[in-house]
Chain A
């Protein structure tokens, strides 16, 4: 009776913890088995062939569309595939991630997985402050950089309410390290001394539309982070089209946008995680 607990082969607490862990693993595996395997996802990514004629240098997109994204925090399992796929396709090193991941907690104490690409604000503070119009909102809602105009003042970094911008502090000679395993680099590495950010994989969209592809539906015209997500927590598409998958998801789910009170009008919507009251 008086035996110290450490003599036990296993305490009740440990047993329960193990059982819970095992259960969770089985659960995740069961969930994942409903979806494509990671290997299949990566193979599909690698199969995307973008090697065609170079794109127009400074495109403004087609104002008919407004590209946006939904990130379902109740589905996200925190695998970070989206982070890595982005780093491979856009050749982004670890300390400059365009698409970041972190763990957060709801008021009721539920842990949830948070990822954040650039939110492509329609009233973007970074665009307003840039002294040389090196960054701009395209007619189709995508916020991109003109690396040839940027003077590297970093005011956009200071102004962005979401910390979504990174700066090329040094000349990068090595690749991001995520190629091959997670995809191929589809855009040029940015030069030293300019700011950069998530582009919604605009090179895929601009190439895909003339070919008749539909961003959000056809993989070759959809951002890598969306394609790679094993639980389909990310949905991409045209917010102007009421029949697009993204518009339907938004219509049928409660959504919110980050720091909405600032009036930046992001094009990225979030579906709240379990336990979060909007």
Chain B
């Protein structure tokens, strides 16, 4: 796998897909079918078909939504490095990153459209502003940033053979739009920093829930998103290189991206360590201690936190990305990307559920009057999650196959 030659040509015949490709597309169509069937059931029957309750109103779909947004963070991070820090070598991966970001954000929107009780009112935040709501800020940033991603993505689409064959002027228009890449990168950086962080604040500002309520969550969300998003973008790129058996990015760029992701991952882990030490080890807020005790009693929360989230999802990918011998091998990069993917999903799941499983004790007495909540996604919820995954993979597959993600003449 590591013996692939240096970049030569990305010109491939678009027709005559091989049989593996056909099987893969067939598999993705199965995932999408499951998703569509589940979506029909949800839209027809309402959210009663889920296992969500008034005690645990957020669950798997919020996890999918948050994870997809985090995995899309490669777009703004790598664009910012390429166009704002003027690290020209990063331009080579900017398109791939923007596209992965677009796929991540659209996936999140699909999950959200299922999750809100009134999908027909998805546009209400645009009309009815509550500037005091962190979720309103998230919504507006996501809408605006998706527009930025669209602008960044337009040149890729216009240069593609499918479009340029029909509209010969399209590549020229695309080139003009691309002139605005640095501006788009600045706006994108601002918007992404804001909403990636405020997704953490969505939990962090809730004073009523002692496990969530802390100022570290916004910062942990942005750092983990950059680390996982960049690793994911790199992983998709390396996977694609192996499919087309051609190197798309130079060894130097690969090293730079791996360093960026690995160092961010370490920064994230360091913050996470101090978050744990400051809130749970050196200090003892009674309500938080009580809640954590409860969590540890009822669920293997500790193991999924320390082993999956921190060790497998954070420390190991960081070591891989920062060790020259390991990151030079494709299989290790792919392993790091997969682990980071799992790590971010499990983290978002843990954050969401840990705060909701413990009941809020509002009664003035001392009896434990409220029961510990439980939540396990049912088949419909898994069906939507599978469908969103199917959409994401399908979009990535078709994009890489039919759009010029790694053009020869890089500006």
Asked whether A and B interact, the reply is: yes
Binding site for B on A (CB under 8 A): 73, 95-96, 102-107, 112, 114, 116, 125, 128-134, 149-155, 157-163, 165-171, 192-195, 256, 258-259, 262-263, 270, 272, 276
A132 in contact with B136 (CB, 8 Å): yes
User: In the complex, which of the residues B128, B206, B364 contacts A158, with contact meaning CB atoms closer than 8 Å?
Assistant: B206
Q: How far is the CA of A168 from the CA of B209 in the complex (A)?
A: 23
Which chain B residues lie closer than 8 Å to A150 at the CB level? 117-118, 121
Q: Which residue from chain A places its CB closest to the CB of B128 in the assembled complex? A: A132
Which chain A residues lie closer than 8 Å to B52 at the CB level? 169
A105 in contact with B366 (CB, 8 Å): yes
4 smallest beta-carbon distances between A and B, as pairs: A152-B117, A193-B117, A104-B365, A161-B208
The number of residues on chain B lying at the interface, defined by a beta carbon within 8 Å of a beta carbon of chain A, is 47
Number of A-B contacts (CB under 8 A): 152
Q: How far is the CA of A134 from the CA of B124 in the complex (A)?
A: 10
User: In the complex, which of the residues A130, A152, A192, A256 contacts B364, with contact meaning CB atoms closer than 8 Å?
Assistant: A256
A157 in contact with B57 (CB, 8 Å): yes
Which chain A residues lie closer than 8 Å to B202 at the CB level? 155
Which chain B residues lie closer than 8 Å to A160 at the CB level? 208
Q: How far is the CB of B379 from chain A (nearest CB, A)?
A: 17
Q: Can you name 27 A-B residue pairings with CB atoms under 8 Å?
A: A103-B367, A104-B365, A105-B367, A107-B366, A114-B364, A129-B134, A130-B135, A131-B125, A132-B121, A132-B124, A134-B128, A151-B121, A152-B47, A152-B117, A153-B115, A153-B117, A157-B54, A158-B58, A161-B360, A161-B362, A163-B359, A163-B360, A167-B57, A170-B45, A170-B46, A192-B117, A272-B364
B117 in contact with A102 (CB, 8 Å): no
Q: How far is the CA of A110 from the CA of B57 in the complex (A)?
A: 34
Which chain B residues lie closer than 8 Å to A152 at the CB level? 47, 116-118, 121
B128 in contact with A159 (CB, 8 Å): no
Q: How far is the CB of A160 from chain B (nearest CB, A)?
A: 7
Q: How far is the CB of A49 from chain B (nearest CB, A)?
A: 33
User: In the complex, which of the residues A73, A106, A134 contacts B366, with contact meaning CB atoms closer than 8 Å?
Assistant: A106
A270 in contact with B46 (CB, 8 Å): no
Q: Any chain A CB within 8 A of the CB of B179?
A: no
> A114-B364, A116-B362 given as contacts; is B369 within 8 A of A132 (CB)?
no
